[in-house]
Amino acid sequence: MDTAVNSTTKELVSALFLKDNASYQFIKEEKWFADPNNIESYDKEKIKDIKTIEVRFREGSEAISKTGLKYFISPHFFIPNKTELGINVIPESKEHKLVKNWIYSLVKEKKLSFFYSTVSRPFDYDNEVNISELDVDYNKVGIECRVKNNRTQIADVIIPLKKIHELFGAGIVIEIQFSNQYEETTERRSYDWALKGYSICWIWKNKFDEISEDFITLKDKEKMFLEVNGKILQKNIEKDKNSLRELVQDFGRQIDLKMKELNRPTVIGECKVCGMGYMTLKKGKGGKNDWYGCSNWRSGCKHSWSIE
């Protein structure tokens, strides 16, 4: 499990970077309780309160992939006697485990860097920032986290900052796509994250070099491009302005058309074919244009012409 509740502070704490948190110097000596959201089921005869299930902390460790690459297995919390207590935890997905170990390794070795462009130069991704340069709230770094605001979203990785940054906002969200996604969907989800205050980095499956059972790595020359919060908002403001202008234009043209219809005369003179009737305005049906027809139609005059 990635999170647990400290018995003293009552805070929900992430295991990922708990060893670096100055507020928790005696991790193994303190008492920790399971996050109820991680519990799938339990024996209610043996456990009276789901909030009192004790957990323990297990430190991260080094491992070697099949290709000889060293990586870190992230720290976590575990329930030592869960079988005896009839506890079932929500199973961890393969993707969850891969992303967790990957992020933990990058931060651990200070290799998590992003390339970004600014609002003034939106196409130049020549600015680099390492996560160590930001005031990250490591206590809240999370994997597959739900964030609520105008709509609920799940972040593959969320890296909150302790205070609002002038460029990156409330923090950084990393979205990892192992499957294809429409461009419109990417833009909409990016905008939703920007509205929540976050900058976002999209990483696609073809950017990865190794995808094993335990670890993923980016290709050597691949960079992690970050869309800055303010840039996303500015882009959508311009997009909304253009959409509004198009809407105003459409309404204006509809009004012009309606005015033309209202200004059409009901009668435009005698019928030049039969000489007995008058050419009167008729309403088109089924989406057809209005037209003028001879009022002497009952006597057989079929003279008419359509209004374009």
Say yes or no to pLDDT of 233 above 70.
Answer: yes
Q: What is the pLDDT of residue 163?
A: 93
Name the domain count of the chain.
Answer: 3
Sorting pLDDT into bands at 50, 70 and 90, what band is 17?
Answer: confident
Sequence-distant (≥ 6) Cβ neighbours of residue 70 within 8 angstroms: 62, 63, 64
Sorting pLDDT into bands at 50, 70 and 90, what band is 255?
Answer: low
Q: What is the mean pLDDT of the chain?
A: 84
Domain boundary among 58, 91, 124: 91
Domain boundary among 76, 91, 106: 91
Mean pLDDT of 55-67: 84
Asked if residue 228 and residue 289 are part of one domain, the reply reads no
Sorting pLDDT into bands at 50, 70 and 90, what band is 210?
Answer: low
Q: Which domain holds residue 9?
A: 1-91
Please answer whether residues 19 and 27 qualify as being in contact, where contact means their C-beta atoms are separated by less than 8 angstroms.
Answer: yes
Amino acid, single-letter form, for residue 102? W
Mean pLDDT of 268-297: 86
Please answer whether residues 165 and 138 qualify as being in contact, where contact means their C-beta atoms are separated by less than 8 angstroms.
Answer: no
Whether this model's pTM surpasses 0.85: no
Return the structure tokens found at 65.
Answer: 């992939």
Asked if residue 276 and residue 254 are part of one domain, the reply reads no
Cβ density class 3-12: b for 16+ within 10 Å, e for less: bbbbeeeeee
Report the DSSP beta bridge partners of residue 43: none
Asked if residue 111 and residue 240 are part of one domain, the reply reads yes
Q: Report the candidate in 28, 81, 34, 86 with the shortest Cα–Cα distance to residue 55.
A: 34
CA distances from 196 to 184, 189, 236 (A): 19, 11, 14
Backbone phi and psi for residue 257, each to the nearest 5 degrees, phi listed first: -65, -40
